[in-house]
Structure 1
């Protein structure tokens, strides 16, 4: 996608590195077995698990948000819990350092799902606050832009 049209980006515990590297490392996946079987079943809290075809691995090896981070010129707000068991906080720390206008808010004690009501409320408040501020900033009249700041 053409990133120049982004006016703001709000991210919650994002995977910014390679998703397949994260899965392989975290789940101790035998990639050759995954290729042979054609799919991988990841455990889930719902019981049955998630089925990932091997094509997901092949596609995922070629993608990482880091490759395009410097192209993102708009303000970016990242919220991440310091007890995230799914996506390492270090991914967000490294990613925000690559951004032109990035801010990282770490919520102490929060896991990936923001399971505690206070953590969830803080995450929602920070993200919505950021979005509202960006909407206000982008709605002010600018002769270089069209209607509604676009």
Structure 2
């Protein structure tokens, strides 16, 4: 296990991160983007870190503000803030060829990150050799939250600015009006997104948090020469069974090796 290090985000918030594997061989590595209220110590992030070490490739994982070991308060988080931190971490600690791997909300951030790099940092965008999305929750604040909330929840958000959403995975999810309103600045499914690199979507057919129908919507919104969707029988939102993790590792490694001309 590598030591936790800290990098100050543009707003000064300390962001916790780990470097896994090796970064001195010029090989295609991995960047992990976690989900809403998750952290870089989860099973999928750990599987990716182990893959980086085993294959001697660079791996980067980090916690957004208000998550895991990073500073800041979770209730102050927005898509804009977490995206800014993600861009900063990739530009600062994820240079060279990389595969972006995003889970749930991290899938949305991976796509937003890729779009922002293409617009503002084209040289860095060229280094993104592939994107792997697990149950991608693109546009989640609108499609999976606001549009699905009953009137009583919308009223509570408007009146109090916060709602505690029950979770099957532990503590309730704190959802703020600020998060919902900020998310509208980053919606991308209706306009779509051009992707020049391969994109692989992994989706469980029994996911109740990000339904398979939403993954199909994400699939349809991506315009590129190589976009695939794999539907996993019996898969839930976590996709963390041994078989799920093996599929994740195989998918990510295949894209990295393909970028190097191995097994292409």
State whether residues 18 and 61 of structure 1, in contact with CA within 8 Å, keep that contact through their aligned partners in structure 2: no
Matched, 1:109 2:234: yes
Q: Which has the higher helix share?
A: 1
Question: Could you tell me how far apart the structure 1 residues matched to 2:178 and 2:247 are?
Answer: 37
- In the TM superposition, residue 87 of structure 1 has moved relative to its aligned partner by 0.7
Q: Which has the higher strand share?
A: 2
Question: Could you tell me how far apart the structure 2 residues matched to 1:71 and 1:118 are?
Answer: 31
Alpha-carbon RMSD across the aligned residues, in angstroms, is 2.6
The match for 1:99 among 223, 231, 244 is: 223
Unaligned runs of 5+ in 2: 1-115
State whether residues 7 and 75 of structure 1, in contact with CA within 8 Å, keep that contact through their aligned partners in structure 2: yes
- In the TM superposition, residue 119 of structure 1 has moved relative to its aligned partner by 2.8
CA deviation map 1:87-141 (0-9, x unaligned)? 121222232233213111111111110143323322332233233323x149xxx
TM-score normalized by the length of structure 1: 0.74
1:2 counterpart residue number: 117
Matched, 1:54 2:169: no
Larger Rg: 1
State how 1:1-150 maps to structure 2 within 5 Å.
Answer: 1-3=116-118, 4=122, 5=125, 6-26=128-148, 28=150, 30-45=153-168, 47-67=170-190, 69-97=192-220, 98-100=222-224, 101-134=226-259, 136-137=260-261
Unaligned runs of 5+ in 1: 139-150
Moved more, 24-33 or 8-17: 24-33
Aligned residues: 137
TM-score normalized by the length of structure 2: 0.45
Structure with bigger RCO (C-alpha 8 Å, 6+ apart) = 1
CA 1:22–1:46: 2 relative to 1, 3 Å: closer
CA 1:34–1:82: 2 relative to 1, 3 Å: same
Question: Could you tell me how far apart the structure 2 residues matched to 1:91 and 1:117 are?
Answer: 24
